[in-house]
Each structure stands twice: as structure tokens, then as C-alpha cells.
Amino acid sequence: MNANTSLTRLICRPVALALTALSLLSACAPESEPDAAVSAGSTVERPAIIAHRGASGYLPEHSQAAFTLAYAQGADYLEPDLVMTADGALVVLHDLYLDAVTDVRERFPGRAREDGLNYVVDFTLAELRELRMHERIEPESREQRYPARFPADRGRFQIMTLAELIELTQGLNQTLGRDVGIYPELKYPPHHSDHGHDMAAALMAVLENYGYVGQDANCVIQSFYPAVLKQLRFEMDVEIPLVQLITTGTHDGIDYEAMLAPEGLDQIATYADGIGPYWRLIVTDIDASGSPRFSNLVSEAQDRGLIVHPYTFRADALPDGVDADTKLEWLLKDSGVNGLFTDQPDVMRAFIDDTSSQQSVD
């Protein structure tokens, strides 16, 4: 089968068999619907499954294997974080530095800055190609952050560029007949600007080259930095949907608490199409009986025509006494979000499918 063969060629040998089986399930399933709530003011019947750094609960984050597995598990969007190299390439990595997910210290000794870290922007793309990417570890202790996940000392994974991820996604869309989108995040634009890189311009050059143009592009752009989203919307007239990520407190001079107020949401609605809040800003507390307490953030954002895509559901990092289905029920059913970032797309897909089946019976 051609689709089966193409998947096998795209992945590393240790996971090829599992991915082949999953690709068959994916190909036989009903075509995945992209998130209809990407346009401001619209609603969805089924929340969007956003594969957080790929299927990062099973394979090293941002690896080609993780993205391929996420696709096979039924994700609606593949979500890459983006940083830039010394020679201006957009690469798919979460951190400004390389130490947590690569063997940079062994491969390039003596290249670290004074803080002991090796920054992506200090290396060319060609140099990054020499690195082995692995499961996330803590740079100083060298301990694996999620011990039960893929062993950090196994596999030969490599850093991808945004263009390579797009080609993987579009190629799988063609061979499997689906329409999975991409959901890139611009990480630390001020840091890159200090090194002479315009992240927004670099991103749009790649997206436009691959046909992601206009409101109907199967793409969503996200960032914690309102300035870069405003640059895209007002200076570059980008019509691709934009999502303002929201965390707690104040970081890099950005007051995220103010974004949660009615006036803050009003302001976001002038330049973005949605918000991506930390999930604890929606489920604010869990009482002694195990019952959740919810904020009004979802309804207040949706009243302003903003979609809501919280982060991050991890089936292997749950609150005490809470199982995966319970947390998914809180976020997807009780709070009514439009989509969710997840490290385990298959777990979210199974919950949604089971819920839909039960509703059909009822």
C-alpha cells in the first residue's frame, strides 16, 4: 500500500512498525475536520486536537517521528515551536538553547555562553544537522524530565526546519487524503531581533512559499508576545488566524494577568482571533472532593469572538487523584473550549470519539 510505504520511509526504524499500523487506522478513519472555529466568532462541534510538539508523550518532542506519530494518531494540527539559527533558518525547537534536547555539549565543547548554555542562534543550520536530538532532560542534573517517556539515550533523532515539517505534513495529507494543519509558535521574538532576525518576516516567507495565505489557510500562528502578533496583523496584513498565548504573572515586561480582564480580552480581540491560556487559568482549583472550580475565561473570550485553545494536556502528568478522562471532561465538555494542546493526541482522540458515540446513542 503506497501510504503505508511512505510512512515507513519517513520514520526511524524502532517505531516504523507501530506507525505503519497507526497510519492504516488513520487512513481508514473519517477524514479529520479542521477546527471550524479558527475564524473569529465561529463555533465548533468537535474540539481541535493540537499535537503539542508532535506526539511528544511517546517520542522526543519536535522530532520527525513524533510529528508523524501525531499525524497517525488523528491530530488536527501539528504544533512546532520555532527559533532561529545564526544563518536565519527557522528550526523546530522549544528553547533558545540546545542543551536540554541535544548532545551539543559533547559535539561542540567550548561553544557555551557564560551561563553554560549553548544557544541556537550561535549555531548555523549545518552545525545543528550534526547534533543528535533526544528526549528532554534537565541540563544540569542530566535527569530525564518525564522518566517514563522515550529513553533519552536511545534513537538517532535530528532537528527539523519549519519547511521540512510543512513538507512532511503536506505529503501525508496527499497520501492519506486528510487535511491536517500546522500551528507554529514564534518563540522569544525580542531575543532574535537582538541578533538581527525578524521572526515574523522569516515565518511568512516560509508559509507563503508553501501556500499558507489568507483566512482559509490551514494554519494558526501563536505567540506569547503581543508585539509580534500585532506586527503580523497590522504591519504585514497577515490574515492567517492568530492566537495570543497567556500564562500567569508578568514575563519579559508583558502583564499576562491584565490580559484576563475584560479590557485585556477586548484588546486581544483587536489583533488576534483566539487565546491559548494555561489550562489552570480555566480550571482554577480542585476542591477536597475532587470537584473543579472554573473561571469565566472561556465564555468571556468566546463572547468577544475569540477561540480558546488551552495548553497542555499530558496524560502522564495529571493532578493528584485525577485521571485523563476526568481532566479532558473538565476542559472539553464542562468548560467548552474550542481545542486543546496535547502531548498524547491518541488519548484526546479516543475521548472525543467515545463522547461523540455516546451522544449519538443518546
The total of other beta-carbon atoms located within 10 Å of residue 258's CB is 11
pLDDT, tens digit (0-9, with 9 covering 90-100), for 61-109: 999 999 999 999 999 999 999 999 999 999 999 999 999 999 999 999 9
Assess if residue 11 is contained within a domain. Answer: no
Assess if residue 274 is contained within a domain. Answer: yes
| CATH code: domain of residue 73 | 3.20.20.190
Assess if residue 165 is contained within a domain. Answer: yes
Q: How far apart are CA 89 and CA 110, in angstroms?
A: 23
Residue 154 has pLDDT above 60, yes or no: yes
Q: Please confirm, yes or no, whether 191 is among the known catalytic residues.
A: no
pLDDT, tens digit (0-9, with 9 covering 90-100), for 265-316: 999 999 999 999 999 999 999 998 889 999 999 999 999 999 999 999 999 9
Find residue 307's DSSP bridge partners: 274
List the catalytic residue out of 94, 134, 192, 197.
94
Assess if residue 108 is contained within a domain. Answer: no
Contact 308, 274 (CB under 8 A): yes
Assess if residue 184 is contained within a domain. Answer: yes
Q: How far apart are CA 290 and CA 299, in angstroms?
A: 23
Name 77's Cβ contacts closer than 8 Å, sequence gap at least 6: 34, 35, 48, 49, 50, 51, 180, 181, 182, 183, 220, 339
The number of folded domains in the chain is 1
pLDDT at residue number 362: 58
Assess if residue 218 is contained within a domain. Answer: yes
List the catalytic residue out of 52, 134, 197, 309.
52
Assess if residue 134 is contained within a domain. Answer: no
Assess if residue 169 is contained within a domain. Answer: yes
Domain that holds residue 174: 33-96+159-361
Q: Please confirm, yes or no, whether 52 is among the known catalytic residues.
A: yes
pLDDT at residue number 203: 98
